[in-house]
Structure 1
Amino acid sequence: MRYCLPALVLMMTALPAAAATTALQCGDVFDARSGKLVGARTIVVRDGKVAEVLPSGSSVADARAIDLSGHTCTPGWTDLHVHMASQSSPQSYSEGFRLDDVDFAFRSVDYAKKTLMAGFTSVRDLGGEVAPHLRDAINQGLVDGPRIWAAGKSIATTGGHADPTNGVNSVLAHLIGPPGPTEGVINSIDDARQAVRQRYKEGSDVIKITATGGVLSYAKSGDAPQFTVEEVKAIVDTAKDYGYRVAAHAHGTEGMKRAVLGGVTSIEHGTYMTDEVMSLMKQKGTWYIPTIYAGRFVAEKAKMDGYFPEVVRPKAARIGALIQQTAEKAYKSGVKIAFGTDMGVGPHGDNAREFLYMVEAGIPAAVALQAATIRAAEVLGVDDQGVIEAGKRADIVAVPGNPLQDIGAVLKVDFVMKDGTVYRQP
């Protein structure tokens, strides 16, 4: 990974210059706290922050004015589950053997820009060694992209969803040797602690565990539990020492239950979530990140001969089709829901389709928008974004029309501002 940053430097792009003061004349504004539209407003941005929210048409001295009449302004959106270094294709399984980290780093530059231009000013990257380096390059102004909370290498058990040697033949496996906590593979409480500390050493912002089997891993089971409650608790407790929160990939019921009992912050996917698990999540305050987009994408691709290896194909067909139904049940049950797509499974920049799928699942459009704004900020544990209020980050997205009446408007992003800098405008 020491070569990734120079590779990104070669892709260096100049950040647009931010005006000292900008006045956004918004036709309507989405208040993420109430989930309502509050009418036309003038949003004053100064030094990367929202300085004031004034009545519509207010004159602001020495400000650059941007006309967003006919548009609804919302806080910048956050996707809580992405993989910025990869994108699914029939070649995905062989590329891990043919390509270097530098190749994936170059690709991630394009993926990051597409994500930002789609209205996502923040993301949580849940698994990928390129992500911490991409995060740093974006923060240094070398690359255009969203703010990144990076997990780095996901933590798995031997043979689990994030074991990097799954599908490797015996000769190569012998040469590589069995992966351990340094490589994110654990088999004990002590291993669990070491794996978290290694992620800290590598500069991660959040911890990701694969609490059950996965759809796209080269393994038979997509839902078997893969940690003990004690191992999960060791990960969560150690993560707290470093101020980290823990996200748990989980499809199967038992693995999900163990993850919730172990104290994780969020359950990702949650395919076989039962009433018992939902009740536990409500008791513990555990968040649910549905990733409906990924489920629909893999279920569709499973119909195509040759897209997935045969060991993966039945899992994709069976599990992928269920996630949207689970999201509907979880919402009706009162489980806390935030926004995530598992993008990288599908094409980056297509993240906003998750809004449409959430609405199809019976989640109101206002709740879906809250899931990607104020609720996402709560999952991340930050209070400086997710709302348009004085003193908060000037992360603002504008779409034509009224997204609460026509959620399809989220696919027509016309304006993107991150930290007061305009990256896209009509």
Structure 2
Amino acid sequence: MTCRTAILALVLCSALTTPALAETVYVRAGHLVDPEAGKVLDDRLIRITDGRVAAVTPWSPPADSAPVIDWSAFWVLPGLIDAHVHLADVEQSSNVAEPLLHSPEEIAYIGARNARVTLLAGFTTVHDVGSFRGLADVELRNAINRGDVPGPRISAIGAYITIPGGGGEVTGLAPDVTLPADMRMGVAATPAEVELKVNYLFQHGADSIKLIATGAVLAEGTEPGQQEMSEEMMVAAVRTAQSRGSWVTAHAHGAAGIKSAMRAGVRGIEHASLIDDEGIAMAKAKGVYLDMDIYDGDYIAEVGRRDGWPEAMLRKNDETTEAQRRGFAKAVKAGVKLPFGTDAGVYPHGLNARQFKYMVRYGMTPMQAIQSATTVAAEFLGMSKDVGALSPGHWADMIAVSRDPLADITVLETVDHVMKGGTVVR
């Protein structure tokens, strides 16, 4: 090797190993809502380096005279988190066969559209808890992470783990209709099959696992109060997920199924509609999160009746909606951990923030409701180091609204500005 060649090699090596100069962005926040401290800090300067918060200080012009994003007239919050959405799927309709009418390719485009709408509504992180097309949420997450399409940060489950004909299947079809394989990716009938399916999902990119422990409101032929998955099957799922450093949440409406899932070791319960006092006390004692979607029952009742949804769905919705809200109010009083989760996809994406006023109506303070969609949801998803707050080290995901959300929580239904990773997207 000549001397000149050696020098060139050293230069190239240095270029590959030396980090690029850090990009710095500044935001002036007129009123910074800090969910970690539970208070509002007036007139703050947020310094952002390489997409993450580097410092939060009282306002003064940056020493380097760099441009400042001026949100001094706004209330600034961390980007919101919805811990229960279905982005990569069609929205609920009166047709039980609707999922069969859309190809995987079409679902990909639908998911991209839903992701963009969700991000612009101020939800910069979501837990996508399932699509009928297996791994559609994983691929959407990957596309967003690559920068192919705009959308929130996604924690994905890959596919529902459900019993044959259970609440996670497309049901209500003629007996001779054969479902595509990707719509039955998580179907399991024994603990051994559950272990195989859970391992398969992790091997193909799932972040966590969702079990369908009981019947569902919106699945024909299943009943919300009926436990479908045995405790042994749920234990197998939890054990397998833990061996991979991950965790499990369980769709569970009925009181018995909720308690069985908690005994099995799940981290969270989705819906918890018919939870009893014993279940609430168990959730508190075990530190289990109750992810209760207390808004969409009103949407189902109104739109479902208007559009002729199946009568069984409407009946089940009527039987669970108010019961769920009573349970939510009790859980708030008991100090149970309650992340913000809405079941978006049952109702149109982008309307997620409508749930805030219901959470306040049923016992939370506005600050608690904000914390449910920031610090609490981030903790639930295991993402507290990255999202849910605007202290140093977190991604610079934030929203700005024109009025005080602590005085009127409904202001979060119409956000003025959205930033993700230090880039303004609205």
Counterpart position of 2:144: 138
Higher mean displacement: 242-251 or 111-120 = 242-251
> For 1:171-201, what per-residue CA distance to the aligned partner results, in whole angstroms no more than 9, with x for missing partners?
224xx59x89972112211111111111112
Are 2:359 and 1:354 aligned?
no
Matching residue of 1:297: 299
* Alignment of structure 1 residues 176-255 onto 2, 5 Å: 183-255=185-257
Residue in structure 2 matched with residue 154 of structure 1 by the alignment? 160
- The structure 1 residue matched to 2:172, chosen from 167, 183, 189, is 167
Q: SS of the residue aligned with 1:63?
A: coil
1:372 aligns to what?
A: 373
Farther-moved stretch of structure 1 (415-424 vs 89-98): 89-98
- Partner in structure 2 of residue 399 of structure 1: 401
Contact map agreement 1:21 1:62 (CA 8 A) in 2 = no
- 2:54 alignment counterpart: 51
Instruction: Give distance in 2, aligned partners of 1:299 and 1:213.
Output: 19
User: What is the aligned partner in structure 2 of residue 264 from structure 1?
Assistant: 266
Q: 1:41 aligns with which of 36, 39, 44?
A: 44
Conserved? CA contact 1:158–1:185, under 8 Å: yes
Match of 2:82 in 1: 79
Q: Tell me if 1:123 matches 2:114.
A: no
Letter in 2 for 1:309: P
Larger radius of gyration: 2
Task: Please tell me whether the aligned partners of residues 126 and 154 of structure 2 are also in contact (alpha carbons under 8 angstroms).
Answer: yes
Displacement, 1:90? 3.1
1:50-104 deviation per Cα after TM superposition (whole angstroms, max 9, x unaligned): 1111112333425321111121111111100000023434355232222211111
Are residues 1:25 and 2:28 paired?
Answer: yes
Paired residue for 1:3? none
Other-structure match for 2:12: none
Tell me the distance in 1 between the aligned counterparts of 2:151 and 2:248: 24
Is 2:94 aligned against 1:101? no
Q: What is the letter of the counterpart of residue 243 of structure 1? A: G
Q: Is the alpha carbon distance of 1:78 and 1:305 closer, same or farther for their aligned partners in structure 2, counting shifts above 3 Å?
A: closer
Deviation at 1:340, TM superposition (A): 0.6
Displacement after TM superposition at 1:317 (Å): 2.4
3-state SS of the aligned residue for 1:116?
Answer: helix
Question: How do 1:287-366 and structure 2 match up within 5 A?
Answer: 287-304=289-306, 306=308, 308-366=309-367
Distance, in Å, in 2 between the alignment partners of 1:320 and 1:303 is 15
Q: Deviations over 1:311-370 (max 9, x none)?
A: 322112222343222211111122111111110011101111111111111211101111
Question: Runs of at least 4 residues of structure 1 off by over 6 A?
Answer: 179-182
User: Match for 2:175: what amino acid?
Assistant: S
Contact kept in structure 2, 1:295 and 1:324, CA below 8 Å: no
CA distance in structure 2 between the aligned counterparts of 1:290 and 1:35, rounded to whole angstroms: 22
Partner Cα separation in structure 1 for residue 183 and residue 399 of structure 2:
40
In the alignment, residue 173 of structure 2 is paired with which amino acid?
V
Q: Confirm or deny: 8 A CA contact 2:209 2:241 kept in the other structure.
A: yes
Structure 1, unpaired ranges of 5+:
1-18
Among all aligned residue pairs of Structure 1 and Structure 2, give the percentage whose two residues are the same amino acid.
Answer: 38
Q: Distance in 2 between matches of 1:94 and 1:181?
A: 12
How far, CA to CA, are the matches of 2:152 and 2:321 in structure 1?
27
Aligned to 2:14: none
Paired positions, count: 401
Q: 1:264, CA displacement in angstroms?
A: 0.6
The DSSP-based 3-state class of the residue aligned with 1:257 is: helix
Calculate the TM-score normalised by the size of structure 1.
0.90
Distance, in Å, in 1 between the alignment partners of 2:63 and 2:75 is: 20
1:159–1:89 Cα change, 3 Å: closer
